[in-house]
């Protein structure tokens, strides 16, 4: 199509305008953006395995306390109190004495390691060195009771602040019974006579 002379200026202006960037139609570009990958699910850590023997050690119940005619009985001295328990710690006894002192009754099945081993364990609890069989025989005193012969051991620690342990041992009906009093030297000395009477009163009988 030809532009007439009078329209020439209009045609030229239109052509010029068509070349300007601002006169172009904006192009719309569609860009497909992929969705972000979802964060990986962290696996829950598996429970740590229990070391061998750990659960068993914390869950093993104490042996059942002997009952009936196999249960050790005693006559409590005047003013003493007792708290019955179960398992190895059969009872806790408390004399009416001021100071650090406690008596206990412990039962273990069988020989419980033997007399010498237990005596040396008691000595170690108050800081004394072990003894041998010869010294064991010299330290042993025997008290008669209805439960049988009671082997008694009496040890005091060395040093400025002394501790003392007096323990009686009875082995009967397949069990080892330990009746022990421990504490500072003076309170134990004050309760010694009553404790000896308690050991002499030991017997096996059905409480019913």
Residue with tokens 């710690």: 89
Residue 107 falls inside a structural domain: yes
Q: How far is CA 181 from the centre of its chain?
A: 24
For the purposes of burial, counting CB atoms within 10 Å of the CB of 74, is it exposed (0-12), middle (13-18) or buried (19 or more)? buried
Residue 60 falls inside a structural domain: no
Alpha carbons 2 and 14: distance in angstroms, whole number: 14
On whether the CB atoms of residues 200 and 168 are closer than 8 A, the answer is: no
Alpha carbons 10 and 16: distance in angstroms, whole number: 10
Per-residue pLDDT of the chain (208 residues; tens, 9 = 90+): 554 444 444 444 444 444 444 444 444 445 454 444 444 444 433 433 433 333 333 344 556 667 677 789 999 999 999 998 766 789 999 999 999 999 999 998 888 889 999 999 999 999 999 999 999 999 999 999 999 999 999 999 987 889 999 999 999 888 899 999 999 999 999 999 999 999 999 999 876 6
Alpha carbon of 192 to those of 48, 134, 143: distances in Å?
Answer: 52, 25, 14
Q: What is the dihedral of CA 122, 125, 131, 134, to 10 degrees?
A: -20
- Whether the model pTM is above 0.85: no
Residue 100 falls inside a structural domain: yes
Structure confidence at residue 73 (pLDDT): 93
Nearest to 122 by CA among 109, 140, 98: 140
Structure confidence at residue 129 (pLDDT): 96
Residue 169 falls inside a structural domain: yes
Structure confidence at residue 69 (pLDDT): 74
Structure confidence at residue 109 (pLDDT): 86
Structure confidence at residue 159 (pLDDT): 78
Give residue 99's domain range: 65-204
Alpha carbon of 78 to those of 5, 66, 175, 193: distances in Å?
Answer: 143, 26, 28, 12
Question: For the domain that residue 174 is a member of, what is the CATH number?
Answer: 3.40.1000.10
Residue with tokens 């209009």: 10
Residue 54 falls inside a structural domain: no
Residue 49 falls inside a structural domain: no
Structure confidence at residue 112 (pLDDT): 84
Structure confidence at residue 174 (pLDDT): 85
Structure confidence at residue 99 (pLDDT): 95
Structure confidence at residue 113 (pLDDT): 84
Residue with tokens 């010029």: 16
Which residues pair with residue 203 across a beta bridge?
A: 73
Q: How many domains, in total, are found in the chain? A: 1
Structure confidence at residue 41 (pLDDT): 43
Structure confidence at residue 106 (pLDDT): 93
């Amino acid at each position: 199509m030809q532009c007439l002379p009078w329209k020439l200026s209009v045609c030229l202006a239109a052509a010029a305008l068509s070349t300007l960037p601002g006169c172009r139609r904006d192009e719309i570009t569609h860009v497909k953006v992929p969705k972000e990958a979802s964060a990986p699910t962290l696996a829950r850590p598996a429970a740590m395995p229990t070391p061998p023997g750990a659960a068993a050690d914390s869950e093993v119940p104490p042996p059942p306390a002997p009952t009936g005619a196999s249960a050790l009985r005693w006559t409590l001295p005047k003013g003493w109190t007792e708290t019955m328990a179960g398992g190895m710690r059969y009872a806790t006894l408390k004399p009416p004495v001021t100071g650090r002192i406690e008596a206990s009754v412990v039962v273990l099945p069988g020989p419980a390691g033997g007399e010498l081993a237990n005596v040396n364990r008691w000595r170690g609890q108050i800081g004394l060195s072990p003894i041998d069989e010869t010294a064991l025989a010299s330290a042993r005193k025997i008290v008669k009771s209805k439960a049988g012969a009671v082997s008694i051991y009496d040890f005091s620690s060395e040093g400025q602040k002394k501790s003392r342990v007096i323990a009686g041992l009875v082995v009967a009906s397949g069990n080892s019974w330990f009746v022990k009093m421990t504490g500072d030297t003076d309170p134990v000395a004050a309760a010694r006579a009553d404790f000896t009477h308690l050991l002499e009163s030991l017997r096996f009988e059905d409480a019913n």
